[in-house]
Every structure is written in C-alpha cells, then in structure tokens.
Amino acid sequence: MTVLRWLHTIQSGTVKMYDPQGYYLKQIPIANLTLRTGYYAVDNNIDYMTQGAFRQASGKFDHAIDPELGESALGPHQRASDTLTNDLSKNRYFGLQPYVKYLELCRRRPFKKFEDLLHVMDPERVEMLQEVYEHLEDVDFQAGLWLENFVEGGHVPATFYCVAVEQLLRSMASDRHWYERPNRPNAFTLPQLQEIRKISIARVLCDVGDSVTRIQRQAFLRISPSNPLCGCNEIEGIDFWAWEDNSCSNDGSYHGPDYQS
C-alpha cells in the first residue's frame, strides 16, 4: 500500500550493528547499502545487522525525515534522488486521489478550502501547503499525511490510520485464500490456527538469525525493564503436532524443532 510510505518518516538513516552480546560495533548510512547485497556477506555483517534489527531504536515520530534519507535514496548510485520525492512521485504514478478526498472519506465531512484543514493540522503547516499548492484539491496524498496531526492516543496521522486499517480489513475480507477462512479447501483446523497465532517476530528472528540467542519478547519494542531480553528457548513457537496426519504411514517418530532445548 502506498500509504505505508509515510513510515519512511520514522526510519533511521543509518543501520547500527551490534555483536551477539549487545555491544555497539559500527553504523553505515542505509542509502549506501542500496543494491550492495555483497556487503552482507562480508565478515559477520548480516549477523550484526540482525542484532541491530531489534536493538536499534526507530526514528522519532515527528513530521521530519532523517537527512540521510531525505537527501539521498540510492546513495552513490543516484545522488540526485531522495526518498520523499520518490514517495510523492509514486503516489502520482499510481493515480491516487488528492489528499482531501481521503480526508473527506475518513472524516465524513467536506473540506472545501485550506482553512478547513485547521481541524486536522497546525496553522503553520496549513500555510506550508498554501505556499506550494494553489488549490486544496492539488495537495498530494502523501504531502497531507506528512503534515497531519497524529490520531488521538497514537503515533501516526489519523488519515493514515484510517486508510491503512480499512485496506487491511478489505484485504482480509476479499481474499478467499485468507489463512483464517474455515470454508476453503484444506483449511487450517482450529488447533493449527492456535499454533500459528503463537508465532512472533521474536520467534522468527530466533529461528533464522544465526547469532540470535537472546531477544526481547516484543521485538518491535525496545529492550526495557518491562520488555527485557530472554533466551530464545523461552520464546514460544509452533507445536507441529497439530499437523499430525494419522492417515499417513510413518514410524510414529517426530523430529520437529525443540524450543525448550
């Protein structure tokens, strides 16, 4: 979804690397990694980056973008490009409606002039839009999101929240192969669904990260006293016995992963 490109505003412009014990090693501008997959194979960079994935903080939830991303999107490959310009252009390439159309859809009220935006953003930000756009319906969707106030009790623009949630709900409702649908061929059983729902990003990183032996249970949140590091053997995973098929001939043995070892 193009609306998710707003998340570039909370992305850090540098990738920080840590060793498995959590000691900071180095950092590299994220733009310099574009199309440089070979860098990950050098030394233990992929392991250091995996550690940084759950140790490094995100960018601030504000209305600014990290200079590393704002001034260069592709690093040395194309210095004249930047992330925000690319995001704005993609909104136009995909033929998205003006910002005000989504605003009216979510707010269920008309917005006819720039002054109406004072209900959703600060006066100085409305002035910024007036300096760039001649008419309210000229305002690009992404540009409006960059300046809009956050939803009450949250850290994202209200219209971003509205559009993203609506799209996710529609995707689940319209996907006839959605994994939770009970009326499709070979649908998951309830015990299988219960096992699938146990999976977390922490468990995934434990399973695929070669150097990950300790991680916080809520890996999308920072390590803290309320979200401390714990051993991977303490992170719940899937019990594949839920997929046991008695109709298949076997020796009765099971060699799945042991999350308690």
Residues belonging to the binding site are 8
* Residues pairing with 80 in the sheet: none
With a CB cutoff of 8 Å and minimum separation 6, the contacts of 21 are: none
Give dist(CA 143, CA 84) in Å, integer.
Answer: 9
Q: Give the amino acid at 46.
A: I
Structure tokens given for 38: 């070979």
User: Contact 74/30 with Cβ under 8 angstroms?
Assistant: no
Name residues whose C-beta falls within 8 Å of residue 70's C-beta, 6 or more positions apart in sequence: 82, 83, 84
Give the residue numbers of the binding site for heme b: 8
Comparing CA positions, the residue from 163, 184, 5, 170 lying closest to residue 84 is 5
Residue whose C-alpha is closest to residue 13's, from 54, 47, 56: 56
Q: Tokens 């704005």 map to which residue?
A: 88
Angle between helices 158-174 and 99-107 (to 10 degrees): 80
